[in-house]
A and B are shown apart, each in its own frame.
Chain A
């Protein structure tokens, strides 16, 4: 019996180790956020999180965050390569102070379908401190005090099928000699200084777009 008891203890010990392994924080290849979510969840398809910030914390570099339903998901700082997808829903970030999104990663970031609102007091819609290649598809960025998209970093930027308006600085400011930016099918209007600026040697090409009613 003693032998049996020893064996049982070994098995229990193994089970405890296994339990600790299983309950370690999950890192998802794909995370989900919804207005019905909770940031205490693991952001899986069956246990949504509430905010981008929580989802980013449990998403693998190069993974994806999916917006499940329409609503606001809060400002966030992105420090890893990631794909954020909001297709078929009205997913927004309202930033009445600070930036809507701050990006600081050497990797690539792709964002589709997000609406960023500054409420006339938020600083910048998308502040790019560092990035490999930032792709913004079907975005609406509006009403920030400074810029819709500020790109003081080197790296590449592509904006497709978007609207950037009512920003106090410029809709887009590319201001690094190592930056290459391309804009396609995008409308800039009523941004205070200019629709799109290429400063400090930054390279910017715009096609099939419009810039109207800038002061």
Chain B
């Protein structure tokens, strides 16, 4: 999944890449220039959750998360 200029607000989990238990698919989520705020979990990463670098995504403080963000994706 790819998100661009997306607002993710007031959710239990803002962004989720858990692969849905499918062995051949580990969840992959890339994002750029998004706003992720006021969710319980800003993201849950059991696969790949990576922002762009440079990028202007704002993940506001005060949210929990599952796992760590994956290394940012540099512009090619």
Contacts and interface: CB of A to CB of B under 8 A. Distances in A.
10 contacts: A200-B22, A205-B3, A208-B5, A208-B6, A209-B6, A210-B6, A211-B7, A211-B11, A212-B9, A212-B11
Nearest to A191: B11
Interface in A180-215: 194-201, 203-215
A177 B7 contact: no
B64 interface: no
A208 B4 contact: yes
A194 B16 contact: yes
A211 B25 contact: no
Interface residues of A, number: 22
Interface string A21-40: 00000000000000000000
Contacts of B22: 199-201
A212 B14 CA distance: 8
Which applies to chain A's interface (DSSP): helix, strand, loop or mixed? strand
A177 B24 CA distance: 10
A194 B4 CA distance: 17
Interface in B20-62: 20, 22, 24-25, 27
A206 B9 contact: no
Interface residues of B, number: 20
Interface in A42-85: none
A205 B4 contact: yes
A192 B22 CA distance: 21
Contacts of A199: 20, 22, 25
Given A199-B20, A201-B22, A214 B12 contact: yes
Contacts of A196: 1
A200 B20 contact: yes
Nearest to A195: B11
B69 interface: no
Contacts of B11: 194-195, 211-215
B5 A198 contact: no
Contacts of B2: 204-206
A208 B11 CA distance: 18
Contacts of B13: 194, 214
Contacts of A211: 6-9, 11, 14
Given A196-B1, A203-B1, A207-B5, 10 more contacts: A194-B16, A198-B27, A201-B22, A204-B2, A205-B1, A206-B4, A211-B7, A213-B10, A213-B11, A214-B11
